[in-house]
Structure formats: structure tokens, C-alpha cells
């Protein structure tokens, strides 16, 4: 099983700040997918196939990476971006990272 | 619009089984697989498996073999997951989600509580 390690586990960011969340895989994967979850809600697709923004996702978000190292970046943090972000890969069995809780400072 | 509507919360006794449903609408049900995901505070998100909604073929995470059984009813565009021999460790929120490369639509989740 491929283990996905996200860092940091928790972070705070001020409005306008640049935020980077990383996801490291224990073995190489072809793509990484990212989801956003807010309290009491289901996860939402956020970035798919490493760098493609899901429908409705603001273009201040971006994704990059390859092999075992992937990242989600927010340029100019906004209040609505406060949430937990999870990475996910599809090699059998599919696995998720433990999540990064992003809070507004 | 695409929707996945899941059944309501379940309170079950240890050793019993529950069957939760996921009714799809707004798209051709058999065109996309449905995946099931478990979420707990301690373990985060765990992939249970997926079902081919056209053929009924399944793929399970080894960890959930014998615990979860995935089925579909094409006539009602509904996917089901039965959880058996329940223990307190099965208490969680269970989501269904459509697979389209990524998990592009999610149900609202079903909270299953296992308690005597």
C-alpha cells in the first residue's frame, strides 16, 4: 500500500499569503488528486490529475509534482480557503493522505 | 444536475449488519463506477472499494474484504454497501462517490454508529 504523507498537518495563513501543502508518496504514482473538506460537509474534488482545477475552483489554486512528491499551492490566501485538504492516489489500493488543516490567521 | 443521495444514519448493535444506499441521479448511472469511502476522526479517509455499475464487478481494498459487500440495482440507479459483523471500529461516516478519473461527486455521507 502506498502511504501518502501530507505536511504540514495544520497551518495558519493570513489573507494574501502564499500557502503550499505537500504530499509525499511512499512509491511513485502517476497522478495526485486533491480534495477540500469543510466541517460537516462531504469532500469536494479540488485538483485532479496533479494540476487540473476542478469546476468552480478559483485560479489562485494550483497543483504540481511528479513521482513521489506533489504539492497544492494557494496564491493569495482568502478566508474561504480555510478547510482541510486531502491528497489521494489510485494505485491499488487507493489511499488518502491524513489531511492538512488550513486555518485563517 | 448530478446527485448522489445516501440513506439515513444507522445505529446498530455489535455483530449485526447494516446496508446503506446511494441513489444516483442526473447522469447515466451505468457510465461511471461508484466508490465507497470511510471517514473517521482517527483514521481519516479510507478507500473501501468500488463497483462497476454496469457489470456489478467489484474491487475491494484488502482491509475491507469480508467486511463490506458492494452491490448495485441498475433499475433504480442505486448502489449499496452492506457492512457485516459490526464492531465499534466500524463506527464512521461512509461516503459513496462517483469515479470519473477523480472522485467527482460525493454523497452527503451516512453516519453509522455501532453501540450496544
Confirm if A84 and A96 have CB atoms less than 8 A apart.
Answer: no
Chain B partners within 8 Å of A97 (Cβ): 44
Q: Where are the alpha helices (DSSP H) in A35-95?
A: none
Name the residue among A33, A93, A96 with its Cβ closest to that of B62: A93
Work out the minimum CA distance from A16 to partner chain B, whole angstroms: 28
Work out the minimum CA distance from B2 to partner chain A, whole angstroms: 13
Residue-level pLDDT at B42 = 77
Residue-level pLDDT at B54 = 96
Three-state DSSP class for residue A30: coil
Residue-level pLDDT at B41 = 82
Residue-level pLDDT at A84 = 97
Three-state DSSP class for residue B3: strand
pLDDT tens digits, A20-74: 999 999 999 999 999 999 999 999 999 999 999 999 999 999 999 999 999 999 9
Q: Do A54 and B46 touch (CB under 8 A)?
A: no
> If you measure CA to CA, which chain A residue comes closest to B106?
A42
Residues A80, A60: Cα–Cα separation, whole Å: 12
Any idea how long chain B is?
A: 116
Residues A81, A91: Cα–Cα separation, whole Å: 28
Residue-level pLDDT at A72 = 98
Burial B23-57 (b: 16+ CB within 10 A, else e): bbeebebeebbbbbbbbeeeebbbbbbbbbbeeee
> If you measure CA to CA, which chain A residue comes closest to B42?
A98
Q: CA distances (Å), A12 to each of A51, A79, A100, in order?
A: 23, 11, 10
Residue-level pLDDT at B108 = 98
Residue-level pLDDT at B74 = 97
Residue-level pLDDT at B82 = 98
DSSP string, B58-115: EEE-GGGBTTEEEEEEGGGTEEEEEE-S--GGG-EEEEEEEEESEEEEE---EEEEE-
Residue-level pLDDT at B83 = 98
**Judging by beta carbons within 10 Å of its beta carbon (0-12, 13-18, 19+), is residue A40 exposed, middle or buried?**
exposed
**Chain B contacts to A (CB-CB under 8 A):** 35, 37, 44-47, 59, 61-63, 95, 101-104, 106-109
Name the residue among B47, B62, B102 with its Cβ closest to that of A95: B47
* Ranges under pLDDT 70 in chain B: none
| Closest C-alpha to B60, from A104, A75, A23, A92 | A92
Amino acid at each position: 500500500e502506498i502511504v501518502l504523507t501530507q505536511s504540514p498537518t495544520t497551518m495558519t495563513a493570513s489573507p494574501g499569503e502564499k500557502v503550499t501543502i505537500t504530499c509525499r508518496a511512499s512509491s511513485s504514482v502517476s497522478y495526485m488528486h486533491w480534495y477540500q473538506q469543510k466541517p460537516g460537509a462531504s469532500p469536494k474534488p479540488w485538483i485532479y490529475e496533479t494540476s487540473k482545477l476542478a469546476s468552480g475552483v478559483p485560479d489562485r489554486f494550483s497543483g504540481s509534482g511528479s513521482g513521489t512528491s506533489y504539492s497544492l499551492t494557494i496564491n493569495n490566501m482568502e478566508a474561504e480557503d480555510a478547510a482541510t485538504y486531502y491528497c489521494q492516489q489510485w494505485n491499488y489500493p487507493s489511499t488518502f493522505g491524513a489531511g492538512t488543516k488550513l486555518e485563517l490567521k | 444536475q448530478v446527485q448522489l443521495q445516501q440513506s439515513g444514519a444507522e445505529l446498530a448493535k455489535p455483530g449485526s449488519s447494516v446496508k446503506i444506499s446511494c441513489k444516483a441521479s442526473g447522469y447515466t448511472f451505468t457510465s461511471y463506477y461508484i466508490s465507497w469511502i470511510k471517514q473517521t476522526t482517527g483514521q481519516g479517509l479510507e478507500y473501501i472499494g468500488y463497483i462497476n455499475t454496469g457489470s456489478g464487478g467489484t474491487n475491494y481494498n484488502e482491509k475491507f474484504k469480508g467486511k463490506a459487500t458492494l452491490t448495485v440495482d441498475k433499475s433504480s440507479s442505486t448502489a449499496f454497501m452492506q457492512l457485516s459483523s459490526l464492531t465499534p471500529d466500524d463506527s464512521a461516516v461512509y461516503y459513496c462517490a462517483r469515479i470519473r478519473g477523480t472522485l467527482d461527486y460525493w454523497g452527503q455521507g451516512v453516519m453509522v454508529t455501532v453501540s450496544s
